[in-house]
Chains A and B, each alone.
Chain A
């Protein structure tokens, strides 16, 4: 079954730096989504990119998708301490219907 796998597992940077997180998956997808989770809280949707899109922006977020490599990246520019959270990618495929498959996440720490 397809599964998003984030890389790295943990990332620690200084405020103002850019943070890049990667996600790889195994089978063809329809969409890929990125979510953020603050410690002990629910997930918050950040951005959705469709399989026919290559890049998408939302504020300080930039997501790329390379279907030939079955990978996506999430770039957070000019990071802030408030960006400290876990970031997850989630994929769905032609046969998965409503099912989203989540990766294990990247724990991002932004130091002030």
Chain B
């Protein structure tokens, strides 16, 4: 256990569905991240939040909408996804965003399949 939980662990959704991924960290960290991991590709950073404020959006399509109500919770709202969005979505947290010398703690991921 890394102190970062993600739900659901598996999700199958149609292209017209709306769903949300949830991430919670119990580590007292101030920074949270969403990553996408597709087969045969490096981990892709999607969004970064620091003290609930979004500090980075890595040119992610608007069908992915993040929400960070507080430093412990992070959501990823999904709407009208495409089959190529099928991937493992990983949430991570770290002490803060200012520098990357802090290790990141990852959740177990949500395996998303878009049909």
By a beta-carbon cutoff of 8 Å, the part of chain A in contact with chain B is: 3-4, 30-31, 33, 35, 40-45, 48, 50, 88, 90, 92, 96-105
Considering the complex, give the chain B residue whose CB is closest to the CB of A31. B101
Contact B90 A3 (CB under 8 A): no
Size of the B side of the interface (Cβ < 8 Å), in residues, is 31
Question: Would A98 and B103 count as touching, CB distance under 8 A?
Answer: no
CB-based nearest B residue for A88: B43
CA distance A13 to B115 in the complex (A): 38
Known contacts A88-B43, A104-B42; decide if A41 and B99 are in contact (CB<8 Å).
no
Which residues of B have CB within 8 Å of A98? 31, 33, 48, 50, 55-56, 94, 97-100
Q: Are A99 and B45 in touch, CB under 8 angstroms?
A: yes
User: Across the interface, which residues of B come within 8 angstroms of A42, CB to CB?
Assistant: 2, 4, 6, 90, 92, 106-109
